Amino acid sequence: MRDKLIFSPWLSLAPALTIVFVLLGASLLYAITESLGFVRVIGQSKISLDAYRNTLDLNSEFWTSLEFSLWISIVSTFISSAIALLLAVWLSEQRGKTDTLALNWNLAFPHLVWSVALLLFLSQSGLFSRWAASLGLISTTADFPVLVRDRFGIGIILSYIGKEIPFLTITILSVLRSQSVGYDVVAENLGASRWQRLRYVTIPQVMPALIAGALLVFGFIFSSYEVPALLGVGYPRALPVLALRFFLDPDLRARSEGMVISLIITLIVMIVAVVSLRMGERKE
């Protein structure tokens, strides 16, 4: 009876898991074979590591794109996590005085729609620049600061921050509202300040959930294509954008390098996902 209880969830999930593993396995196999130079479209069947050598060459664009992707992912994740923590603590202290409608409303918008909105508002020909020019704050719209399509990825970071704060806030808030208020009250009665209660009581309670959520956000941002493609520049560009550039190259042999970059992105994201799952297990 106990064995049936253990295996019944896996049996019920077996059809869905089979489809996922088959599709994922076929995709990975296809990517690995093409990364090794096996491109059937052009009749190339000789196994070679040239794509790996070209991609990982110290002078290749891969390293610049890797640095740019890490910069965007780390900064966006860190700022989103910090703001989400403070916002979740504030909402938790309200105890029913506020709701999370605004957070849920934000989550309903896809990242691409959110990025288009930022482009319309923050570009040098956008609404904010026109309003600033009409109010006399700047001479022309060209004087408006470059916040999107800049080489530092400011627009990309702003887009991800705006989208990931609600997700992380709801994640942290669910943990806070499931905890007893006794610890915080005891700490306050013992003379702990607001900062001390946050540091020694609240943060330790939510840290496993915060880290797990932040790792998921990092993995998503690192592997995302649409936002860097829309709000980024030609150089430097994020790794997914660089990979697509190789896929669209007229020389079909360049697809092997695109597959190498895709496999590297997949490997990094899978490592992050495994660490996030481990953190989630520790939380439970």
Q: Reply yes or no on whether the pLDDT at 17 is more than 80.
A: no
pLDDT digits (tens, 9 = 90+) for 132-177: 888 888 888 888 888 888 889 999 999 999 999 999 998 888 887 7
Domain ranges of the chain: 1-35, 49-283
Q: Measuring CA to CA, which residue among 130, 122, 125 is closest to residue 155?
A: 122
Q: Reply yes or no on whether the pLDDT at 202 is more than 50.
A: yes
> Mean pLDDT, to the nearest integer, of 86-113?
76
Q: What average pLDDT is seen over the chain?
A: 83
Q: So what's the pLDDT on residue 38?
A: 78
Three-class HEC string of 123-179: CCCCHHHHHHHHCCCCCCHHHCCCCCCCCCCHHHHHHHHHHHHHHHHHHHHHHHHHC
Percent of the chain with pLDDT over 70: 86
Amino acid at 41: V
> Mean pLDDT, to the nearest integer, of 51-79?
93
> Mean pLDDT, to the nearest integer, of 4-14?
63
pLDDT: which is higher, 113 or 95:
113
Q: Reply yes or no on whether the pLDDT at 1 is more than 50.
A: no
pLDDT: which is higher, 26 or 13:
26
Does domain 49-283 bear CATH number 3.40.920.10?
no
Give the predicted TM-score (pTM) of the model: 0.84
